[in-house]
Structure 1
Amino acid sequence: MNPKNKLAEMPVRPLLYTMAVPLMLSLLIQSLYNIVDSIFVARLSETALTAASLVYAIQFLMIAIGVGTAVGLNALLSRKLGQKKPEEACRAATTGLFLMLGTSLVFTLVGLLFSNRIAAALTNDPELRQLCREYLSVNLVFCWGIFLQTYGQRLLQAVGDTVLSMVSLIIGAVVNIILDPIMIFGLLGCPAMGIRGAAIATVIGQLIGAAAALWFNRVKNPVIHVRLKGYRFLWQDVADIYRVGLPTIVMQAIGSVMTFAVNGILLGVSSTAVAFFGIYYKLQNFLMMPVNGLGQAAIPVVGFNYGSGQSDRVKQAWKVLLPTGVVFALCGTAVFLLFPAQLLGLFSASDEMLAFGVPALRIISVTFLFAVLTILCGYFASGLGNGVVNMIGAALRQLVVLVPCLWLLIRTMGIEKAWFAFWVSEVIACAYSLWATKKELRNKGK
Structure 2
Amino acid sequence: MEQENKMGSARMGPLIFSMALPAMISMLINALYNIVDSIFVAQYSQSALAAVSLVFPLQQLVIAIGVGTGVGVNSLISRRLGEKRQLHADSAAEHGIALAVIGGLAFVVVGFVLAPPFLGAFGSAPDVYEQAVQYSQVAVGMSFFVMISMMCEKIQQSTGNMIIPMCQGLTGAIINIILDPLMIFGIGPFPEMGVYGAAAATVIGQVFGMLIGLWGVFIHQKVLRIKMREFKWRLQTVKDIYRVGLPGIVMQSVVSVMTAGMNAILISFSQTAVNVLAVYFKLQTFVFMPVFGLNQGALPVMGYNYGARNKGRLFGAYKIALTAAVVIMGLGLVVFQAIPETMLMMFVDRTDAAAAREMLEVGVPALRIISLSFIGAAFGIINSTLFQATARGLNSLIVSVCRQLVIILPAAWLLGRWFGLGAIWYSFPIAEIAAFFISYALLWKEYRTELRFLGIEKEGKA
**Alignment check: 8 A CA contact 1:101 1:144 kept:** yes
**Alignment check: 8 A CA contact 2:61 2:256 kept:** yes
Match of 1:127 in 2: 127
**Alignment check: 8 A CA contact 1:119 1:130 kept:** no
How far apart in 2 are the matches of 1:232 and 1:60? Answer: 30
Match of 1:42 in 2: 42
Match of 1:25 in 2: 25
Q: Following superposition of structure 1 onto structure 2, how do residues 200-279 of structure 1 map, counting pairs within 5 Å?
A: 200-279=200-279
How far apart in 1 are the matches of 2:381 and 2:202? Answer: 27
**Alignment check: 8 A CA contact 2:318 2:382 kept:** no
How far apart in 1 are the matches of 2:33 and 2:110? Answer: 25
How far apart in 2 are the matches of 1:413 and 1:294? Answer: 38
How far apart in 1 are the matches of 2:63 and 2:425? Answer: 26
Which amino acid is 1:23 matched to?
A: A
Partner-residue secondary structure (3-state), 1:47? helix
Using the TM superposition, name which of 355-364 and 251-260 deviates more. Answer: 355-364
Q: CA deviation at 1:111?
A: 2.3
Q: CA deviation at 1:33?
A: 1.3
How far apart in 2 are the matches of 1:247 and 1:136? Answer: 26
Which amino acid is 1:212 matched to?
A: I
Match of 1:165 in 2: 165
Find out whether 1:146 has 2:153 as its counterpart: no
Match of 1:107 in 2: 107
**Alignment check: 8 A CA contact 2:276 2:362 kept:** no
How far apart in 2 are the matches of 1:360 and 1:228? Answer: 49
**Alignment check: 8 A CA contact 1:91 1:226 kept:** yes
Q: Following superposition of structure 1 onto structure 2, how do residues 303-382 of structure 1 map, counting pairs within 5 Å?
A: 303-348=303-348, 350-382=356-388
Tell me the alpha carbon deviations over residues 297-330 of structure 1, each in whole angstroms, 9 at most, x when there is no partner: 2211111011112111112112212121111111
**Alignment check: 8 A CA contact 1:42 1:48 kept:** yes
Q: CA deviation at 1:437?
A: 2.0
Tell me the alpha carbon deviations over residues 409-437 of structure 1, each in whole angstroms, 9 at most, x when there is no partner: 11111112221112211100011112212
Residues 438 and 291 (structure 1), Cα distance of their counterparts in 2 relative to 1, 3 Å cut: farther
Q: CA deviation at 1:229?
A: 4.3
Which amino acid is 2:236 matched to?
A: Q
How far apart in 2 are the matches of 1:180 and 1:228? Answer: 35
Length-normalised TM-score, structure 1: 0.97
Match of 2:409 in 1: 403
**Alignment check: 8 A CA contact 1:155 1:224 kept:** no
Match of 2:175 in 1: 175
Q: 2:443 aligns with which of 417, 431, 437?
A: 437
**Alignment check: 8 A CA contact 2:172 2:207 kept:** yes
**Alignment check: 8 A CA contact 2:164 2:212 kept:** no
Tell me the alpha carbon deviations over residues 321-354 of structure 1, each in whole angstroms, 9 at most, x when there is no partner: 2121111111000000001000101112610110
Which amino acid is 1:422 matched to?
A: F
Unaligned segments of structure 1, at least 5 residues: none
Q: Hey, which bits of structure 1, 4+ residues long, moved more than 6 A? A: none
How far apart in 1 are the matches of 2:405 and 2:238? Answer: 28
Find out whether 1:416 has 2:422 as its counterpart: yes
Which amino acid is 1:415 matched to?
A: L
Q: CA deviation at 1:191?
A: 0.2
CA RMSD after TM alignment: 1.4
Q: CA deviation at 1:28?
A: 1.6
How far apart in 2 are the matches of 1:436 and 1:286? Answer: 29
Q: CA deviation at 1:164?
A: 1.4
Partner-residue secondary structure (3-state), 2:256? helix
Partner-residue secondary structure (3-state), 1:346? helix
Q: Following superposition of structure 1 onto structure 2, how do residues 59-78 of structure 1 map, counting pairs within 5 Å?
A: 59-78=59-78
Partner-residue secondary structure (3-state), 2:121? helix
Which amino acid is 2:451 matched to?
A: K
How many residues of Structure 1 are paired with residues of Structure 2 in the alignment?
A: 446
Partner-residue secondary structure (3-state), 2:188? coil
**Alignment check: 8 A CA contact 2:272 2:362 kept:** no
Q: CA deviation at 1:134?
A: 0.5
How far apart in 2 are the matches of 1:3 and 1:123? Answer: 53
Unaligned segments of structure 2, at least 5 residues: 349-354, 454-462
Which amino acid is 1:437 matched to?
A: L
Q: CA deviation at 1:217?
A: 1.9
Q: CA deviation at 1:171?
A: 0.5
How far apart in 2 are the matches of 1:78 and 1:271? Answer: 45
Which amino acid is 1:404 matched to?
A: P
**Alignment check: 8 A CA contact 1:247 1:388 kept:** yes
Residues 112 and 357 (structure 1), Cα distance of their counterparts in 2 relative to 1, 3 Å cut: closer
Match of 2:459 in 1: none
